[in-house]
């Protein structure tokens, strides 16, 4: 009798939890143009689709606070860029442009025709390149603590000196670098989790990606893209609004005061509300 009860319970769970109301996130893969396996998830329905792109040395799980909020109204896609998370490795070089190709490959694999690209930090730069490859499909770009200064250029000598410390000791340098992204009053448990996570990334991917970020010039992409571009930024570092507007077709910013670089995790409720408001602004201008 006991075994029969357990068997019935197992059948119930399989049927009940497998129903649409309790369906788990759909995990899929696509191939990048250079043959890298790309892991991504899809949740919800609706138009436009929101495509979330993570930052340097992170992965798609960093959007876990956004997926359940936005899947009620939109189709929500989260992506592991090549060399990150559950996606494949083996690429010759890890560049902003190649990551942009990853995002475009997933959008095309899903057949999405109306998308808003949301990118945190490096993900913002990546989405500029992705949008160039997705002509006519992208309605707007939302950067999350990024797009601070489209005019900034880092001298090669300064870039090389900075990268040398990562090459010498990637985990230690990354831990120091990431801790500096938070204010003193930040949640210590959250800081420790992110620091540990990012410091464990593959050094060859992290260093190459960092080099590409520091040398990436967004001017060519901005010249092509006639899209609304928004940032949701901390006020911890300045955003060159006027400088950005000289290069971008349209640029606006919303601020989350007193937070660090990971605004999406530090105050997800406030961030989700601002992102929803921003999506509304983009759709209003269509």
- 141 DSSP β-pair partners: 117, 229
> Tell me, what's the pLDDT at 83?
97
Task: Tell me the pLDDT tens digit for each residue of 189-234.
Answer: 999 999 999 999 999 999 999 999 999 999 999 999 999 999 999 9
For residue 67, give every residue at least 6 positions away whose Cβ sits within 8 Å of its Cβ, in sequence order, or none: 25, 41, 43, 44, 52, 76, 78
Q: Are 81 and 56 in contact (CB under 8 A)?
A: no
CA dist 175 to 71, 74, 99, 198, 235, Å? 33, 35, 23, 8, 22
> Tell me, what's the pLDDT at 56?
98
Q: How far apart are CA 223 and CA 226, in angstroms?
A: 8
Domain ranges of the chain: 25-153+217-284
- Sign of the alpha-carbon torsion through 102, 104, 105, 107: positive
Tokens of 175: 């831990």
Indicate the helix (H) or strand (E) that contains 209. helix 203-215
Q: How far apart are CA 102 and CA 201, in angstroms?
A: 18
For residue 249, give every residue at least 6 positions away whose Cβ sits within 8 Å of its Cβ, in sequence order, or none: 222, 225, 226, 227, 228, 229
For residue 113, give every residue at least 6 positions away whose Cβ sits within 8 Å of its Cβ, in sequence order, or none: 136, 137
- Ramachandran quadrant class, 45 (left: phi over 0; alpha: psi -120 to 50; beta: rest): beta
Please give the chain's pLDDT, 286 residues, in tens: 444 433 333 333 333 334 333 334 567 999 999 999 999 999 999 999 999 999 999 999 999 999 999 999 999 999 999 999 999 999 999 999 999 999 999 999 999 999 999 999 999 999 999 999 998 999 999 999 999 999 998 999 999 999 999 999 999 999 999 999 999 999 999 999 999 999 999 999 999 999 999 999 999 999 999 999 999 999 999 999 999 999 999 999 999 999 999 999 999 999 999 999 999 999 987 7
Task: Tell me the pLDDT tens digit for each residue of 72-98.
Answer: 999 999 999 999 999 999 999 999 999
Give the predicted TM-score (pTM) of the model: 0.90
Superfamily name and number for 25-153+217-284: Alpha/Beta hydrolase fold, catalytic domain (3.40.50.1820)
For residue 282, give every residue at least 6 positions away whose Cβ sits within 8 Å of its Cβ, in sequence order, or none: 116, 139, 140, 142, 228, 230
Q: How far apart are CA 267 and CA 220, in angstroms?
A: 34
């Amino acid at each position: 009798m006991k075994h029969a009860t357990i068997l019935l319970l197992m059948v119930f769970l399989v049927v009940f939890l497998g129903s649409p109301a309790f369906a788990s996130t759909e995990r899929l893969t696509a191939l990048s143009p250079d043959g890298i396996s790309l892991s991504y998830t899809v949740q919800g329905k609706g138009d436009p689709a929101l495509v979330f792109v993570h930052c340097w040395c992170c992965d798609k799980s960093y959007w876990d606070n956004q997926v359940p909020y936005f899947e009620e109204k939109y189709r929500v896609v989260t992506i592991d860029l090549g060399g990150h998370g559950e996606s494949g490795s083996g690429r010759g070089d890890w560049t902003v442009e190649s990551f942009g190709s990853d995002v475009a490959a997933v959008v095309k694999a899903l057949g999405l025709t109306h998308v808003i690209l949301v990118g945190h930090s490096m993900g913002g730069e990546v989405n500029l390149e992705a949008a160039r490859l997705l002509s006519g499909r992208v309605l707007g770009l939302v950067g999350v603590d990024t797009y601070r200064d489209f005019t900034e250029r880092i001298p090669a000598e300064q870039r090389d000196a900075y990268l040398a410390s990562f090459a010498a000791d990637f985990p230690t340098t990354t831990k120091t670098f990431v801790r500096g992204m938070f204010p003193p009053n930040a949640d210590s448990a959250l800081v420790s989790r992110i620091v540990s996570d990012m410091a464990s990334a593959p050094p060859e991917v992290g260093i190459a990606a960092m080099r590409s970020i520091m040398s990436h010039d967004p001017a060519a992409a901005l010249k092509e893209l006639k899209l609304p571009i928004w940032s949701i930024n901390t006020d911890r570092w300045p955003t060159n609004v006027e400088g950005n507007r000289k290069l971008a077709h349209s640029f606006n910013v919303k601020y989350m005061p007193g937070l660090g670089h990971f605004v999406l995790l530090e105050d997800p409720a406030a961030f989700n509300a601002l992102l929803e408001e921003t999506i509304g602004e983009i759709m209003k201008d269509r």
